[in-house]
Amino acid sequence: MNYHWNWHIFAQQVQGGSETYADWLAAGLGWTLACALCAWLIALALGTLAGALRTTGNRVLAGAGATWVELFRNVPLLVQMFLWFFVVPELLPRELSLWVKQDMPAKEFVTATLCLGLFTSARIAEQVRAGIQALPRGQREAALALGLTTLQCYSHILLPRALRIIIAPLTSEFMNTFKNSSVAFAIGLMELTFQARQMQEDSEQGIETYLAVTLLYFLCAIIANRAMALIEARTRVPGTPG
Amino acid sequence: MISICGVSKWYGPTRVLDDCSTEVAKGDVVVVCGPSGSGKSTLIKCVNGLEAVQRGEVIVDGVVVTAPKTDLNRLRARVGMVFQHFELFPHLSVADNLTLGQIKVLGRSRDEAIARGLKMLDRVGLAAHRDKFPAQLSGGQQQRVAIARALSMDPVCMLFDEPTSALDPEMISEVLDVMVALAEEGMTMMCVTHEMGFARRVADRVIFMDQGRIVEDCAKESFFGAPRSERAQQFLAKILQH
């Protein structure tokens, strides 16, 4: 292999600028973290809601939850990014459409985060539904028999139990959110993958660039994994196998 | 106190309750027995509206349970219920199991709820276990906590749905002792159970059900002396021969 290795490339200045390539990757990592964490919060909130709705036994609510899930899990994430970025703004009322296209601050970030959050929420919804359905039916009856409302039954009994049950698949989903955020480069969010492509073209040191980016994604996923393991340990119910 | 009037219920084409009528006067203990699938549990769950009925009327302490406008949560807060599989909330400590309903439904302060809950816990002989979690207790202890949880709400009557069916033989008596004491204090109780010793000791009346119908509804003396129906005679002969 006739490749000129240069591990010092990260400390070197970019062409025609004062910052280093490491600065580029650091900025990219920042957007990746911001996008993934915000998307995760959206996904957790909406996914829990949609998943819970599917278990209420009310046909309209269950139908709404099911529609939500099918809408966001049957279209590739990359296509969803393009839909939110290029199509949805065109469908908005004229004033709003103009504002979104021209004046909305951090347009790529907002679009990518919303898209990733909604996409992930559909997957979380299915896990939450499975978790609730895994609980004995008597738990709901016992909560209702005490006089708790359906909302209180979900918030105090069913969801705290279901979320503990599904923490393993939720951990994978949290890690996926970091990895899936790389798709946002396609609509121009200057996240890690976007910066890597830019650095590769600018420095012509593609191998070092992508090895570094691989390592950074790997670290993100591992840290996400460890964080969830910590939560799992902290929320473990005494007397149950851990 | 409890009045069940011409109640019928169908699951699809299957009739699970067939024109059931009975009364439980204040302070009375009524035992409901019968073969499995005879509708005992369904009938008792109609009393606090956990099961809806298609025909007939259920009235508890002057409140028409079956009326669409009835605030079921308010009614259920006044009707204690104990389940076959205990249905304690496993992610909550014993103390939290006892106080959740009091705080969220009755609006009691935390201190007040704890005081009331601990009094009931002491009554079932488990005061030392307040900080444990359900999984750390035996089945008999869990069921006693479940009784204490129901009593903490100061119910006007208590429903028991096969409270000893899931217990080992030696734990059955510790639960029955609590129920006998409750009956002797004058609590209005409706108990689905096959514990005929319990029925003999504290029941005022015995109801025998078969195929969704109330076949026998009489004072315990005449039930154990000479049940009128052949079906009840067969049933008694089977469960009393051992």
Does A13 reside within a domain? no
Rounded-to-integer distance, Cα B227 and Cα A145, Å:
33
DSSP track, chain A = ------GGGGGSBPTTSSSBHHHHHHHHHHHHHHHHHHHHHHHHHHHHHHHHHTTSS-HHHHHHHHHHHHHHHSS-HHHHHHIIIIIHHHHS-HHHHHHHHHT-TTHHHHHHHHHHHHHHHHHHHHHHHHHHHTS-HHHHHHHHHTT--HHHIIIIIIHHHHHHHTHHHHHHHHHHHHHHGGGGGGGT--SHHHHHHHHHHHH--HHHHHHHHHHHHHHHHHHHHHHHHHHHHHTPPTTS--
| Interface mutation target, options B46, B89, B129, chain A, most CBs of A under 10 Å | B89
In which band, very low, low, confident or very high, does the pLDDT at B224 lie, cut at 50, 70 and 90? confident
Q: Check residue A61 and give its pLDDT.
A: 96
| CB-CB neighbors (< 8 A) of A153 in chain B | none
pLDDT tens for residues A100-144? 988 999 999 999 999 999 999 999 999 999 999 999 999 999 999
Residue A50 sits in a domain whose CATH number is 1.10.3720.10
CB contacts, 8 Å: B77 with chain A: 146-147
Tens-place pLDDT, residues A9-51: 999 999 988 999 999 999 999 999 999 999 999 999 999 999 9
Decide if A128 contacts A154 (C-beta within 8 A).
no
Q: Is residue A71 part of a domain?
A: yes
Q: What is the pLDDT of residues A169-212, one digit of tens each?
A: 999 999 999 999 999 999 999 999 999 999 999 999 999 999 99
Q: Is residue A56 part of a domain?
A: yes
Q: In sequence order, what are the residues at sequence separation of 6 or more whose Cβ sits closer than 8 angstroms to the Cβ of residue A75?
A: A83
On chain A, the residues whose CB falls within 8 A of the CB of B81 are 141-142, 145
- The complex scores an ipTM of 0.93
**Residue to test with chain B: of A140, A141, A144, A146, most B Cβ within 10 A:** A146
Residue A199 lies in a domain: no
Percent of chain B with pLDDT over 90: 83
Looking at the structure of chain A, the number of domains it has is 1
Determine what percent of chain B is predicted with pLDDT higher than 70: 99
| Mean pLDDT of all residues in B206-229 | 89
A147-174 tens-digit pLDDT: 999 999 999 999 999 999 999 999 999 9
- Full 3-state SS string of A21-75: HHHHHHHHHHHHHHHHHHHHHHHHHHHHHHHHHCCCCCHHHHHHHHHHHHHHHCC
Give the per-residue pLDDT at B223: 87
Does some domain include residue A235?
Answer: no
Chain A positions touching B75 (Cβ under 8 A) are 147
Per-residue DSSP letter, B227: -
Segment B88-103 mean pLDDT: 96
Q: Is the pLDDT reported for residue B170 higher than 90? A: no
Amino acid at B98: L
Confidence class for position B96, pLDDT limits 50, 70, 90: very high
Give the structural domain span for A113.
Answer: 33-189
In a domain, A214, yes or no: no
Contact A156 B74 (CB under 8 A): no
Classify residue A174: in a domain, yes or no.
yes
pLDDT of residue A93: 93
Residue A197's identity, in one-letter code, is R
**Residue A1 covered by a domain:** no
What residue in A sits closest to B72 (Cα-Cα)? A147
Between strands B63-64 and B213-219, the pairing is unpaired
Q: Give the global pTM.
A: 0.90
